[in-house]
Chain A
Amino acid sequence: MEYLLDLIWSAVLLGCTYTLVAIGFSLFFGVMDVVVFCCGDIAIFGAFSILASYTILNSLGIMTAWPLLLVILLLLLIGIIFCMALGLLTHRFSIKPFEKSSALMPLLSTIALGTVIREVIGLMFMPATNGLADVVAGENAIHVVSGRNPQSFPSLLSLGGSTDTRNIIIVAVTVVILLLLFFFLNKTKMGLSMQAISQNKELSLMTGINVSRSIVITFVIGGVVLAISGFLLGNYQTIMSFDNGSMFGIKGFSAAVVGGLRNTWGAILGGMLLAFVEVMVSGYVPNGSAYASIIAFVVVVVFIIFKPEGIIGEKTVEKV
């Protein structure tokens, strides 16, 4: 029984990390009808920008001088700014140029962009971080060694306590983000317009929704969600590698597909389902870890073939 509970708890945590990326995918897909494949890399980019800022703040001695909560918020804000900027750049250079062409073009270009983001992290993380730390902290600068090696992410969320504290905070933050997102999407004009665009783009134009502005705002919101997911993942995993984004992105994408791509709430279920399948297969099938990801992908393929509208998607999408 304790074994099962351990597994369930693991699955919930893993599911939280998948869910936020999956929501990134479904927000973008909903509003623009394109798969922005570098979501995972944007999130990891956010995590690395937080890591870099941490190193610089640490050089300045701020980590010890300021209250932890304030530092966390500051770091999160920096991560959000970076992810938002990267999201807007993604839109400007990887999606907008292909507005008029097939949806496969932005897919391919964002896959390519993902590679670029990974390489930029790998190449730039060390020189940029160390350079900045030198400028701001001079002799006290703390240096990062090699950008391509695994980096240790500061375990800020344990708040000095145990990993249990951290895990509970991860779940709690995820829930709060989801609630805020729910409120935003359903109760604000901006959120409603995003949903409207996702449901009927032509009608949205006719309704007077500024679609191009909504797309920009979607990238801003997506950036916020991805930055937070990168931050949570960093805290959860403790060790981050510059190329984590590709696997993280594929898992998020799969979760979004299972959830029905356009459906934000499906993304949550999809993320959780994927995590549960992986963890349970690893936990109960002898030698199952080797097959966990594969079985998770089989679930995705089954969904694509038999229920392409997703886990809670409605089939009755009227089109004349």
Chain B
Amino acid sequence: MNTMLEIRNLYTSYGRIPMLMDVSLDIAEGEVSCVLGANGSGKTTLVKAILNMVKADQGTMKLAGVSIDDWPTHKRVEEGIALSAAAVGTFPKMTVETNLKMGAFYINDAKVLHDRLENIYTSFPVLKDRLQQKAGTLSGGERTMLAIARAVINKPKLLILDEPSLGLAPIMVEEVFEIIQRLREEKMTILLVEQNATKALAVASRGYVIQKGAIIFSGTSDELRKSEFVENPVM
């Protein structure tokens, strides 16, 4: 099994406050891995560090074996790391269609773009009905769908989903995880960052538990399910 993303000894800080300490991860190609952690445990910082939206103080990262440490954010996106974070929102004054096209920023071929969009419409029928609507008027669930679709349209090497279930009604949560399930079947490499451990472990094959900026446990989904961390109400 090839490693898609390899993180070694990553440290970041916000001012003088350390945010991540000695984080090492391996995300295997074609698998769903998950990072579990409570609010404020450093999950989002980790995600942003992968895209270089938060600068690393120390540590190295490799994407499919290539060092990406010197790559700015846009280069990492261009080279195939896609981040979907519903919490970051949309481009509210643009239509849903333009939002999707902004997601496909690096696709220059009109034909490819057209095909990708068609694929998205099939996978996310709810968006198809809203194409000409301003993204700012979407409901929470629709926004999450748009966030995922926007990231998926690039067919990324690594798809990072940051708390896709956050703030959604249970029925929407189901729908979101169905989509993740489908992407997994398509062999997309996914890093799922979640608070909802049960749901995440249901789709992931490996997982990491992060607490106060450090990885405190890692293992397969089965190992994780049995561990104290998942049952621990702190989660």
Contacts and interface: CB of A to CB of B under 8 A. Distances in A.
Tell whether any CB of A sits under 8 Å from a CB of B in the complex.
Answer: yes
B51 A318 contact: no
Interface in B94-139: 94, 98, 101-103, 105-106, 136-137
A305 interface: no
A204 B90 CA distance: 9
B40 interface: no
A117 B53 CA distance: 35
Given A192-B98, A196-B94, A209-B105, A203 B72 contact: no
Interface centre among B102, B137, B167 (most CB of A within 10 A): B102
Interface string A203-230: 1111111110000000000000000000
A209 B90 CA distance: 14
Nearest to B85: A206
B91 A208 contact: no
A96 to B, nearest CB: 16
B23 to A, nearest CB: 20
Given A316-B136, A317-B136, A320-B167, A203 B88 contact: yes
Interface stretch (B73-81, B196-204, B214-222): B73-81
A238 interface: no
B102 A314 contact: no
Given A195-B94, A196-B94, A316-B136, A207 B89 contact: no
Contacts of A319: 89
B88 A208 contact: no
B93 interface: yes
A200 B105 contact: no
A207 B150 contact: yes
A318 B103 contact: no
Contact of B102 (A207, A210, A211, A316): A207
A317 B92 CA distance: 7
A318 B92 CA distance: 7
A192 B73 CA distance: 18
Interface string A180-203: 000000000100110110011011
Interface in A275-320: 314, 316-320
Contacts of A189: 105
Given A195-B91, A320-B167, A207 B136 contact: no
**What are the 9 closest A-B residue pairs judged by CB atoms, nearest first?**
A208-B77, A210-B74, A199-B91, A208-B74, A206-B83, A203-B88, A208-B105, A202-B88, A318-B136
Interface of A: 189, 192-193, 195-196, 199-200, 202-211, 314, 316-320
Interface of B: 51, 53, 72-74, 77-78, 83, 85-94, 98, 101-103, 105-106, 136-137, 143, 150, 167
